[in-house]
Amino acid sequence: MDIELIIAAVVLALAAAYTDVRWGKIFNWMTVPFALLGLTLNTIAGGWGGLLMSLAGIGAGFALWLVSNFLGRILGGGDIKLLMAFGALLGPMFMLWTFVWGALIGGVIALAVSIRRGLLTKTLRRMGTSIYLRAAFAEPMEIADGAGAVRLPYAIALGAGALVTIAVRTWGG
């Protein structure tokens, strides 16, 4: 991993987490330039191979968006575009590991928030109902259906997932 791309991914992770906490959004004016930066730097450094790697990272994010929509829009558009920008910067495997780590971290955060606010039982009941309706009656399911009033700025989890992925790839071998 090139240090410039790692720095760009860290800056993107921190900026996205901040805007998601502050305004409840991950803005296109933030994700698109980082995706273009990834495409440009990878093309300069790796030629066609670098370009294809960045495009594969964007494509993997797009595939995740399709799966998310099929399952009932479990990720927001900003979350997907953030993952696509990570993919453009550091490739499809980085994007997928960022998603995996982000999901694990997000689950821990959501569990902690639910316990702290005394909402765990109510939240699990709502999620169970939403999943049942999706499975039994093909009702569309929004992730917000199960969350109730608790909102988790998911860019925090995805940003942390990116940082963990960088650490594992850099120091873990």
pLDDT tens-digit map of 59-102: 999 999 998 888 777 788 999 999 999 999 999 999 999 999 99
For residues 53 and 127, the model is more confident at 53
Q: What's the pLDDT score for residue 172?
A: 75
What does the pLDDT look like over 108-162, one tens digit per residue?
Answer: 998 888 788 877 777 778 778 877 777 777 666 555 544 555 567 899 999 999 9
- The radius of gyration of the chain from alpha carbons, rounded to an integer in Å, stands at 17
Query: pTM of the prediction?
Result: 0.83
Q: What's the pLDDT score for residue 137?
A: 75
* Token pair in block for residue 87: 């993919």
Q: What's the pLDDT score for residue 104?
A: 95
What does the pLDDT look like over 92-101, one tens digit per residue?
Answer: 999 999 999 9
Euclidean distance between CA atoms 7 and 58, whole angstroms: 19
For residues 69 and 106, the model is more confident at 106
Measured from the Cβ of residue 9, the count of other Cβ atoms closer than 10 Å reads 24
pLDDT at 40 > cutoff 80: yes
> Is the Cβ–Cβ distance between 89 and 31 less than 8 Å?
no
Ramachandran quadrant class, 49 (left: phi over 0; alpha: psi -120 to 50; beta: rest)? alpha
Euclidean distance between CA atoms 132 and 141, whole angstroms: 10
